[in-house]
């Protein structure tokens, strides 16, 4: 099997890299910087799709500027939504506790958008998953903050890590909650002729 990449991942997220690796996709990563500010009156679905397109576009721009091998670029973004409101990444213990206690005992949505770009060809897929939290105590959300896990996570938790103990049920894509919906990503890989199952 060839070790040459078939795709650029416009993200340094270890979770997205692992999920693409699970699919057997040979890839290289690109470090991109995209403004993630929510626009006025922008709904959550439009927001997360815009960010995935912006990340893919930023990655494609790097490919051109650095004269890299022209391969498809994948950009993705995940956001947590409660009552239509986007919940960001907590920057301190108070924000984390407020976010998790708001999710306590309730159903929220995790939206992950995936975009692949190659030149002027751009395609986007959106995954929406309902996640139900059990009732949480203030003590356990504070203890969770001190694990260090919530600080770079949309909605303040990671379902693939310690945050799994909060989750009572999900309806939809588990991998989408982690950060890259496999069932949507494979649609895009096929559209752009990106091979998977390349690592055995």
User: In 10 A of CB 136, how many CB atoms?
Assistant: 17
**What distance lies between CA 196 and its chain's CA centroid?**
19
Catalytic-labelled residue, pool 77, 83, 139, 152:
77
Query: What would the two tokens of residue 110 be?
Result: 């995790």
Burial class for 121, CB neighbours closer than 10 Å (0-12, 13-18, 19+): exposed
Q: What angle in degrees, to the nearest 10, is found between the helix axes of 138-145 and 93-103?
A: 130
Contact criterion met (CB below 8 Å) for 174 and 22: no
Instruction: Check if 33 is active-site.
Output: no
Catalytic residue list? 77
């Amino acid at each position: 099997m060839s070790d040459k990449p078939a795709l650029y991942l416009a993200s340094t997220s270890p979770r997205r890299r692992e999920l693409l690796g699970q699919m057997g996709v040979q890839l290289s990563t690109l470090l991109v910087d995209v403004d993630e500010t929510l626009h006025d009156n922008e709904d959550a679905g439009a927001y997360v799709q815009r960010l995935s397109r912006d990340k893919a576009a930023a990655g494609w721009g790097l490919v051109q500027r650095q004269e890299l091998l022209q391969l498809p670029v994948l950009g993705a973004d995940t956001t947590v939504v409660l009552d239509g409101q986007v919940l960001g990444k907590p920057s301190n213990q108070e924000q984390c506790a407020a976010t998790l206690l708001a999710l306590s005992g309730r159903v929220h949505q995790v939206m992950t958008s995936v975009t692949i770009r190659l030149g002027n060809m751009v395609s986007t897929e959106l995954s929406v998953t309902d996640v139900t939290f059990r009732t949480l105590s203030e003590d356990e959300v504070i203890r969770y903050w001190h694990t260090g896990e919530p600080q770079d996570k949309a909605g303040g938790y990671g379902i693939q890590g310690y945050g799994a103990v909060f989750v009572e049920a999900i309806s939809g894509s588990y991998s989408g909650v982690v950060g890259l919906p496999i069932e949507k990503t494979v649609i895009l890989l096929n559209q752009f002729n990106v091979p998977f199952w390349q690592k055995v």
